[in-house]
Amino acid sequence: MRARSRLRAGDALAVGTVGLRARRVRSTLSALGIAIAIAALVAVLGVAESSKQQLLDELGRQGNLLTVATGQTFDGRPTPLPITAQTMIARIPPVLATTAVGNVDGATVRRTDRIPPQNTNGINVLAAQASLPDTLSARVLRGSYFGPLAERYPETVLGYSAAQSLGIDRLTEQTQVFIAGRYFTVVGVLDQVGIAPEIDTAALISFGVADQLFGLGGVPTRIYVRVDPDHVPAVAAVLGPTASPENARDVQVQRPSDVLLARIKAKDAFVGLFLGLGAIALLVAGVGIANIMVISVLERRAEIGLRRALGARRRDVAAQFLLESALLAVIGGVAGIGLGVLATAVAAHTAGNPVAIPPQAPLAGLVAALLVGALAGLYPAARASRLPPADALRTL
C-alpha cells in the first residue's frame, strides 16, 4: 500500500519561510505595512493610557478640592464673597485647609509701560494668600513664592501661561512687569495648576499690597477648600450657607475634579476614533499582503507543481502559503509593537506623563496581525492548492 504523505510542523515552518527568505525586500515592505498599522494602534492606546494615568493621578490628589464663588456681574467681573466667608468655612470640622484669591478689577499686566494698555494678553490680577501653593498642591517652577515682605512691597508671582505670554522664561533680580501703572518685581513662576486654570493666566500679588494700592479691602472672590476625602459631599452641601448665610443660593460650590473626569471621557472618545483609523490602516496592510501572496503563487507555479508531483497534498500546499502569510504578518506585528512602545515612551516623556501601556495592547496587536495575515493568505493558499500538478510543471 502507498504511504500517505505527512507535513510535519518543523518542515511546514521551514517551507513556509522559503518565500520570505527568497524575496526579502518584498517581504520587508509587506511586513512594514503591518508594522506601521500595529505601531499606530499600540501607540494610540499607550499614549492615551499614559495621559489618562496622569489625569487619574491628579484626580486622586485633587478629588477633595472644592471651590466657593458667587458668580459674576453683568460685565463679567467676579462678585465678592463676604469677608467672613473664609473664616467660617475653616471652622467646618472636615475642612483641612483653605486659601482665597481676590480679583483686582481693572488692573492690566504688561511687560513694560511702552506696551499699549490694550495688549493685556488676557492676564488677570489676583490677590492671593501665602497658603495657596499648599492648598492647591501648586509647584513653584522658577524663583519662589511670596515671603513676608510681599505684604508691603510690590512683588508678583506669575501663573504658567501668564509668564509665557509675557515672554518670561528666566528670572533675575531685575525681572519686572508693569501692573496698573506700577512696576512689580517677579519673584516666582508657578507650574501649571490643572485643577485651577484661572491661576495659570493670572499675576498674583499679596492681599496686603492689593489693599494698599487698589483698595481691595481683603474681600475674596473665590475660596479653595481642601476637605477630608470621606466628607466631600457633606461639606459641599453646607458650604453655601456657611460662606454667605444671607445669600446662600447665590454661592456656587464646584468640584474642579469634575473637569478632569470630563477630559478623561473626551480622550476616550478620541481614542475610539483613532483606533478606527488604525484598523483601516491594518486592513489596507492586509490587502497588500494578499496581493503579494497572489503574485508569489503565480511566480512559484513550478515549485507548487514539483511539490505536488512528489506527493504533497493540496492541504500541504495551502498550509505552506497560509503559514507564509501569517508569518509575514506576525513579523510585522512584532516590529509594530516595538515601535508603538517606543513611540509611547517618547511621547509620555515629552509630555511629562508616566509611561503606561495597557497590558492587552501588545497582545491585541499581535493577535490582530496574525488574524489579518491569516485572512490575507486564505485566497492565495486556496488558489495554490487548486493548481493541477501537470499544468504547474509546464512552467519549468
pTM of the model: 0.57
pLDDT in tens, 137-191: 889 999 999 988 899 999 999 999 999 999 998 888 889 999 988 999 999 999 9
Q: The cell 509675557 sits on which residue?
A: 166
Query: Which residue did the predictor score with more confidence, 15 or 248?
Result: 248
Question: Would you state the pLDDT for residue 227?
Answer: 85
Higher pLDDT, 374 or 309: 374
Q: Which residues contact 187 (CB under 8 A, 6 or more apart)?
A: 143, 144, 145, 146, 147, 150, 155, 156, 157, 171
Lowest mean pLDDT across 81-90, 247-256, 303-312, 331-340: 303-312
Residue spans of the domains in the chain: they are: 9-58+261-393, 64-256
* Beta-carbon contacts of residue 383 (< 8 Å; ≥ 6 apart): 294, 297
Q: How high is the pLDDT of residue 1?
A: 42
Instruction: Give 277's Cβ-side CA count (13 Å radius).
Output: 11
pLDDT category of residue 5 using cuts at 50, 70 and 90: low
